[in-house]
A and B are shown apart, each in its own frame.
Chain A
Amino acid sequence: MKNDIILCGVGGQGILSIAAVIGLAAVENRLFLKQSEVHGMSQRGGDVQSHFRLSDNHVYSDIIPYGQADLIISVEPMESLRYLPWLSKKGWLVTNSNPFNNIPDYPPLDEILTEIRKIKNNIILDADATAKEAGSVRAGNIVILGAASPFIEMSFSSLENAIRKLFTRKGEEIVEVNLKALRAGKSFVNQ
């Protein structure tokens, strides 16, 4: 088994919590894992990405070869397109529909969505609204993770366990909100 995932968004949008959940779940599943990210300059409102490589065998390269990602998980629509050179022909693209507009020439949203819909396997969802329904506007990331969960080759319950581990420190209420967000994301895809 091999599962190559690109996680992307804008610096400050907190893709790190998604990364942490997948990482914890991978450890629980005793998978080999490499997760590479770029820190530093790129965090000041610039584009950020993280490469996740899960496998039941030793993983060599820290970065995913072009055309081999099974999944792009994006918390921002335009950013989801930046990594198409990595996406395999059979890969899935799961993205939030809410733009993060911090540049003067941000393109019209419908042009972006049109491009995303050209990808055979795409899922676009309003994660912010779903998160709000789940009880916290800040759980949008986890909603997206939920929507991507069918394409992550680990059991859903191991993602749930990872969320429990990650958020325990912040109290039971936060854990529940995030579990709800994860499930809401998943049921969006299942509908």
Chain B
Amino acid sequence: MKNRLLLGDEAIAQAAIDAGLSGMYAYPGTPSTEIMEYIQLSGVAAGRNIHREWSANEKTAMEAALGMSYAGKRAMVAMKHVGLNVAADGFINAAITGVNGGLIVVSADDPSMHSSQNEQDSRFYGKFALVPCFEPSDQQEAYDMVFDAFELSEKYKTPVLLRITTRLAHSRAGIIMKEHPEPEKKLKLPSDPLQFVLLPAIARKKYKALLTSYESLKYDARISKYNSFNDAKKRDIGIITCGIAYNYLMENIGSSSKNYPVLKITAYPFPTDLIRDITARCSEILILEEGYPIIEESLRGFLDDGKKIHGRLNGAVPRDGELNPALVAKALGMQVSTGGKVPVVVRNRPPSFCKGCGHADMFTALLEAVKPYGPGHVFSDIGCYTLGALPPYNAIISCVDMGASITMAIGAADAGLFPSIAVIGDSTFTHSGMTGLLDAVTNNSPITIIISDNSTTGMTGGQKSKATGRIEQICAGIGVEREHIKVIVPLRKNHEENVCILKEEFEYKGVSIVIASRECIQTAIRRKKAEASNE
């Protein structure tokens, strides 16, 4: 028996390798990033030449994975929860086309928003797309479920969603692994040449078929083995847990677990018969979900006049944020243990720019150049440079979704805001800034776009950025006039010159691009170390 200490993310990656994966597709995003990184570092993956390059964004990743599935091989695509919004078109339509080779879509949710803009619950997407969804309660289950998910995917010809959350993704545990990895599948095209052609006449038929198979999925052994009901003699309160919430329950009731009827759900579509079973037997129900109250809402229905239900909707558990052992203890009416208080001398230590970060010098120049126009002119985006929103800079007024700086600047310029400025990172620009730039060029929008190019995807740990060294060319190719593509080096010694260039471009009444180009200090340190050890 092989036993390894792995992060939840790594367990999923290892399982995919062991299950005969041929292609891993992803765009970085906390807490999903380590899935791809593990495969990139794996000797076995290299030996088999599993596809393992980062994609430009989650949509391209999803579609490439679907392409690999079309060709009959097993593919996995991973992203953070908001990435699934970007990939949603491909995801939802892939449910209708169905798959050929097994396809797993991993979406890593971030309840409590440790490093995200929201805490959306990906299980909704599973239900929306009519796709089965696994929600492991621990790292071992995550490992095991990957095998079942691939088989389920191939049996029902459906993509399978694997929903994890930060605590599982970023926590290590001992994993018992398969001795012998499965071989990869051979290239084999779908038997129906029209399977992936969603013309309305075909799509209607396929959608009906999807509705039918979604109903039968509920009773498939691979779903039902992950949903279990343990009855108890004492039936005052029955407890339903979803995914990782099970651990917080067991942490509290541990040895006395025989006193509580517990329904553990880790696979969807969820089993209504099991839910009927527990609700019929128990006087009251407590429902613990790590995320939105999805099952709770279904249980209550519109009328909510049945059995007494405790959960996120009646305040037994907070409506937002992730669960923890204390919150669950409270919901159970148990005594909550507490430690000491945090003394008042302890100050907040917010994240900040690294010493020697080019973004910081870019903002210093930008602030001086924009000063005459007053506040409210600089839209921004998602990445390390979003720290420009914090003191001492207070330089930006937006961070919404990847790429939105450019497009919001366009809309505000349309409304008459002048100057209208966007600050975007290089990886965010290639993720979904380029299409917005095309709009700006065709509109001839009077905006200035500062691409703060540190030649890496910094925020998520320094993954390769797609267009390093080619950003000027790309902007020119999209149609920005050459004389309004300026490259500056954000260093203190260039401050005066950089301010002048920015001021000039702000005044230009068309699309202008200023590329502030300086390698990320963390990447530079890693690169120099690697170079030194190669010598």
Name A residues whose Cβ lies closer than 8 Å to a Cβ of B: 10-12, 23, 26-27, 32-47, 51, 59-63, 65-69, 78-79, 81-82, 84-89, 91, 102-103, 105-107, 111-112, 115, 119
Contact = CB atoms under 8 A, between A and B. Distances in A.
Given A87-B339, A115-B343, A41 B351 contact: yes
A112 B342 contact: no
Contacts of A82: 342, 346
26 contacts: A33-B173, A35-B173, A36-B167, A38-B114, A38-B166, A40-B31, A41-B115, A42-B351, A44-B387, A46-B351, A60-B248, A60-B250, A61-B251, A65-B329, A66-B325, A66-B326, A66-B336, A67-B339, A68-B337, A81-B343, A84-B341, A87-B339, A91-B339, A103-B348, A106-B347, A107-B345
A150 to B, nearest CB: 21
A63 B349 contact: no
Interface string B109-146: 00000110000000000000000000000000000000
Given A39-B30, A39-B31, A10 B349 contact: yes
B351 A62 contact: no
Interface string B456-497: 000111000000000000000000000000000000000000
Nearest to A102: B352
A174 B244 CA distance: 40
Contacts of A12: 354
A61 B387 CA distance: 32
Contacts of B341: 84-85
B170 A37 contact: yes
A80 B52 CA distance: 40
B338 interface: yes
Contacts of B339: 66-69, 84-89, 91
Contact of B338 (A44, A47, A60, A67): A67
B352 A44 contact: yes
B325 A65 contact: yes
Nearest to A43: B351
B347 A32 contact: no
Contact of B173 (A34, A78, A85, A91): A34
The 3 closest A-B pairs by CB, nearest first: A40-B115, A40-B30, A36-B171
Nearest to A87: B339
Contacts of A115: 343, 345
Nearest to A59: B173
A70 B17 CA distance: 38
Interface of B: 3, 5, 30-31, 33-34, 114-115, 166-168, 170-174, 244, 246-248, 250-251, 254, 324-326, 329, 336-343, 345-354, 384, 387, 459-461
Given A40-B114, A62-B247, A67-B339, A45 B31 contact: no
Contacts, number: 154
Contact of B114 (A42, A44, A51, A61): A42
B170 A39 contact: yes
A41 B389 CA distance: 14
Contacts of A102: 349, 352
Contacts of B354: 12, 44-45
A41 B383 CA distance: 9
Contacts of A37: 170-171
B346 A38 contact: no
Contact of B248 (A61, A78, A85): A61
Nearest to A11: B351
B340 A84 contact: yes
Contact of A27 (B5, B171, B347, B351): B5
Contacts of B166: 38
Nearest to A76: B349
Contacts of B171: 34-37, 51, 62
Given A40-B460, A41-B114, A44-B387, A63 B338 contact: no
A62 B167 contact: yes
A112 B338 CA distance: 22
Contacts of B247: 60-62
A45 B250 contact: no
A33 B174 contact: yes
A115 B174 CA distance: 37
Contacts of B329: 65
Nearest to A51: B171
B342 A46 contact: no
A8 to B, nearest CB: 11
B13 to A, nearest CB: 15
Contacts of A67: 337-339
Contacts of B251: 60-61, 65
Contacts of A41: 30, 114-115, 351, 459
Contacts of B167: 36, 62-63
Considering residues A43, A65, A68, which has the most beta carbons from chain B within 10 angstroms of its beta carbon? A65
A118 B223 CA distance: 53
Contacts of A68: 337, 339
Contacts of B340: 84-85, 87, 119
B345 A81 contact: yes
Given A27-B5, A63-B324, A112 B345 contact: yes
A107 B347 contact: yes
Contacts of A107: 345-347
B458 to A, nearest CB: 9
A66 B351 contact: no
Contact of B172 (A35, A39, A88, A112): A35
B35 to A, nearest CB: 13
B248 A111 contact: no
A81 B172 contact: no
Contact of A111 (B34, B246, B345): B345
